[in-house]
A and B are shown apart, each in its own frame.
Chain A
Amino acid sequence: GQNIDQPTEMTATEGAIVQINCTYQTSGFNGLFWYQQHAGEAPTFLSYNVLDGLEEKGRFSSFLSRSKGYSYLLLKELQMKDSASYLCAVRGRYNTDKLIFGTGTRLQVFP
């Protein structure tokens, strides 16, 4: 089976840095994904990790530790438009496998 845990809600201030954690337990692993979803809209892809370490993409970075079943998404220089839900998803053993999503972390950015 698969189990993915994220905090339900977080708040932060504009210009700050926030780290959203994700822990997972899966029977097979072939990548961890982070998506951003604004209310009522489609999830959009942010980052992908399959090897341990940090992947940086502009203001967003994602880290993975496979041995710990742990990932985080780091958002720097927060902007109001970053207020959204952030979804952690894990893919099973094969590239053809489905993505299983956590329940998401709702981030509110305040001025």
Chain B
Amino acid sequence: DSGVTQTPKHLITATGQRVTLRCSPRSGDLSVYWYQQSLDQGLQFLIQYYNGEERAKGNILERFSAQQFPDLHSELNLSSLELGDSALYFCASSVVQGNTEAFFGQGTRLTVV
């Protein structure tokens, strides 16, 4: 158990809908990262938050948004869903000192039908 919690584990929804994915980082971790992994693809960086502020943005679509709350949990909002948005969405967190690997949650598998 990495200590990073993601909910829900699975989500099936229709095209055009909106969903919210939730991530609780490890206790004490200030950085939260979101990644998208489509079938047989690598991890695509979406967005990073550090202590409540947006730190870096990757190839995140305008239909997607995220935020980090004062208690450091984060939410990824996906709207106007398309079939191609079906993927595993991972959240990771890390502390920010020294050897700071990122720890990953178990992911949310999103299926858009």
Size of the chain B interface, CB-CB below 8 angstroms: 29
B window 80-113: CB within 8 A of A: 88, 90, 92, 96-107, 109
Is B64 an interface residue when CB atoms closer than 8 A count as contact? no
Task: Report which of A31, A42, A102, A103 forms a contact with B107, defined as CB distance below 8 A.
Answer: A42
Q: How far is the CB of A103 from chain B (nearest CB, A)?
A: 4
Closest A residue, CB atoms, query B105: A42
Please judge, given known A-B contacts A101-B45, A103-B42, A104-B42, whether A95 and B103 are in contact too, CB under 8 Å: no
| Cross-chain contact A102 with B42 (CB below 8 angstroms) | yes
| Cross-chain contact A96 with B41 (CB below 8 angstroms) | no
User: What is the bound-complex CA distance between A104 and B35, given in angstroms?
Assistant: 14
Closest A residue, CB atoms, query B43: A101
Please judge, given known A-B contacts A42-B107, A96-B96, whether A101 and B42 are in contact too, CB under 8 Å: yes
| Cross-chain contact A42 with B2 (CB below 8 angstroms) | yes
- List the A side residues contacting B41 at CB < 8 Å: 103
User: What is the bound-complex CA distance between A65 and B97, given in angstroms?
Assistant: 22
| Cross-chain contact B31 with A96 (CB below 8 angstroms) | yes
Q: How large is the interface on A (under 10, 10 to 19, 20 to 34, 35 or more residues)?
A: 20 to 34
| Cross-chain contact A95 with B96 (CB below 8 angstroms) | yes
A window 38-87: CB within 8 A of B: 40-45, 48, 50, 87
User: What is the bound-complex CA distance between A98 and B59, given in angstroms?
Assistant: 13
Task: Report which of B99, B100, B104, B109 forms a contact with A43, defined as CB distance below 8 A.
Answer: B104
| Cross-chain contact A96 with B106 (CB below 8 angstroms) | no
| Cross-chain contact B45 with A44 (CB below 8 angstroms) | no
| Cross-chain contact B104 with A42 (CB below 8 angstroms) | yes
Which residues of chain B have a CB within 8 Å of any CB of chain A? 2, 31, 33, 35, 41-43, 45, 48, 50, 55-56, 58, 88, 90, 92, 96-107, 109
27 contacts between A and B (CB under 8 A): A33-B101, A33-B102, A40-B88, A40-B109, A42-B2, A42-B90, A42-B106, A42-B107, A43-B43, A44-B2, A45-B103, A48-B99, A50-B99, A95-B96, A96-B55, A97-B56, A98-B33, A98-B45, A98-B55, A100-B45, A101-B35, A101-B42, A101-B43, A103-B41, A103-B42, A104-B42, A104-B43
